[in-house]
Structure 1
Amino acid sequence: MILEPQLIVELIILGLSTGFLAGLLGIGGGMLMVPFLTIIMSGRGISPDLAVKMAIATSMATIIFTSIASVRAHHKRGAVRWDIVKRLAPGIVVGSFIGSLGVFALLKGSYLAIFFGLFVSFSATQMIMNKKPEATRQMPGTAGQLGAGGFIGFLSGLVGAGGGFISVPFMTWCNVSMHSAVATSAALGFPIALANVVGYAISGQTVQNLPPSSFGYIWLPALVVVATSSFLMAPLGAKAAHTLPISKLKRIFASLLYVLAAYMLFKGIVSF
């Protein structure tokens, strides 16, 4: 597959958009990236089943770079809760391996597309509802955070997102401030992405009909272009997170997620 100018422009725009959102909302950009990568790949002759899987894997690979840029910006502001990162990360790594190396390889792309659509719809609803936690609720102990990390890593591996769609609501539910939750989610994106990418690369080695320049399920040309542009934009999103009205932005973003979720549900259903 040749990267013609139009494709490069599409990938750059996608990278800039997802990088900004990763820094702004701590979501890793995957919920936006996966549907658009699926559209791009499907339009260039890749089978729908394989396009969904490669979009998920490639999206996750870009988060390795986006998370580094985003967390550096948040760390400078002292917003990252490294104590939470240390407790969630081990479970995240284990859950990510189970999701990307095991379940992901066994499921058809159509099932993953439907699961992605349903879960993104749920995430969008949670954003709009914006429920406030009880004043006395706090983060669970070490064992509880290990278990939560495993759940976050596992689901992230199935949908190709950085885990912020679970970790940010989870932390705010436990009365971690929104800014700290977003910043900490950005830091968690690195172990989530790294563990899942290893799983995608290994599980995709025996797959037939992969496009040129693929490494397992990861499409390297898209990774390079999207990761570069998102890496440049993530710090700007992180900076904006401390000044913009996050609640209003979340409602706007949630509306977009409903549209993308509907597309992925349609894609999964017609692929049966």
Structure 2
Amino acid sequence: MEFFSQYSTAWLLGLATALLATGLVAGVLAGLLGVGGGIVIVPVLYHLFTLLGVDESVRMHAAVGTSLATIIPTSILSSRAHEKRGSLDRSLIKRLMPSVVLGVIVGSVASRFLSGASLTAVFASIALLVAINMAFKRDGVAVADGLPGTAGTALLGSGIGGMSTLMGIGGGTLSVPILNALRVPMHTAVGTGAMLGMLISVPGALAFILNGLDVPLRPPLSLGYVNMLGFALIVPATLATTGWGAKLAHSVDARRLRQVFALFLALTAARMFYGLLT
């Protein structure tokens, strides 16, 4: 606790408020857009760890690991909510599950050898692509009718699992636009993405805990690369709003919200790239 003694009570209250607000927003977006709360949680934690003076070599790893841990309860609640509304396709999940889990394993191993700067570059690059897709993709545009063959599905699932693990995000961020482009209805894609988030976050978080156990310079109150303070404050707020977001997904035209969120992602990616270059 000596680490926190250097900060005023007002500053620490501001930190706690920021983490709670992050959880609230992440929960709504996880249920509403199926993007996975990690796409919000990772950049916020990254910048908070920067303000706290956490070393750059572990800053992004801690943000990613903590985010994956918070996604576990979020994805469970979100997938249950979508299942009740009939928007969870278990046949899709069964086809994607083996390759998604394989991708998580590959991503977890790769994260152990990536520097903090490299991991930041990965997040910023994919976040920028997601932002472009969110901002400019037209509804109803498809590239194929259903999942590809066995080899194509394996490549697709492993890519979703691997990149989601490296970014600390739920599978929905990548799987929802991909499934929707394969003519999977948006509501079904969102519900299925929530379940994939659970398949990614559980082994992914465990891997980041194990990978960071003996690493120095981590944020205080951390278990491996999972910061327990961030986890404890973000999860309750996220759980409180995920179900509400899932309900909104069935009654709200989210196109305008996607565009606003795309701007947030683009600015976040630009800020990360700027930090890497300066």
Query: Do the structures match in fold with TM over 0.5?
Result: yes
Aligned pair 1:121/2:121, yes or no? no
1:47-66 equivalences under 5 Å are: 47-66=55-74
Q: 2:152 aligns with which of 131, 134, 144?
A: 144
Structure 2 counterpart of 1:89, one-letter code? M
Return the offset for 1:42: 1.2
Hey, which bits of structure 1, 4+ residues long, moved more than 4 A? none
The answer to whether the aligner puts 1:247 opposite 2:255 as a matched pair is yes
Match of 1:110 among 107, 110, 117: 117
Q: Does 1:233 align with 2:241?
A: yes
Measured in 1, the distance between the counterparts of 2:52 and 2:145 equals 49
Q: State the AA in 1 paired with 2:127.
A: V
Q: TM-score, normalised by structure 2?
A: 0.92
Q: List gaps (5 residues or longer) in structure 2.
A: none
Query: 1:212 aligns to what SS in structure 2?
Result: coil
Deviations 1:8-55 (A, max 9, x none): 111100000011101111111212111110111111121123111111
Q: What is the CA–CA distance in structure 2 between the aligned matches of 1:136 and 1:213, rounded to whole Å?
A: 47
Question: Aligned residues, how many?
Answer: 269
1:74-97 CA deviation, whole Å, 9 max, x = no partner?
111001111111121221111111
Q: What is the CA deviation profile of residues 163-204 of structure 1, one whole-angstrom value per residue up to 9, with x for unaligned ones?
A: 222201111111000111011101110010011111111111
Q: Distance in 1 between matches of 2:93 and 2:229?
A: 31
Task: Tell me the distance in 1 between the aligned counterparts of 2:45 and 2:93.
Answer: 29
Separation (CA, whole Å) in 2 of partners of 1:86 and 1:53: 30
**Is contact 1:12-1:225 (8 Å) kept?**
yes
Partner of 1:91: 99
What code does the residue aligned with 1:189 have? G
Tell me, yes or no, if the aligned pair for 1:35 and 1:263 is still in contact at 8 Å. Answer: no
Q: Tell me, in whole angstroms, the C-alpha distance in 2 between the residues paired with 1:164 and 1:267.
A: 27
- The answer (yes or no) to whether the contact 2:33–2:249 under 8 Å persists in 1 is yes
Indicate conservation of the 8 Å contact 2:62/2:218, yes or no.
Answer: no
Match of 1:166 in 2: 174
Residue 259 of structure 1, CA deviation: 0.9
Q: CA-to-partner distance for each residue in 1:44-79, whole Å, 9 max, x for gaps?
A: 121123111111111111110110111111111001
1:267 Cα deviation from its structure 2 partner: 2.5
Contact persistence 2:55–2:218 (CA under 8 A): no
Aligned partner of 1:115: which letter?
V
Name the counterpart of 1:211: 219
Q: Aligned in 2, Cα 1:106/1:229: closer, same or farther, shift over 3 Å?
A: same
Q: Equivalent pairs: percent with the same residue?
A: 35
- Structure 1 residue 151: Cα displacement: 1.0
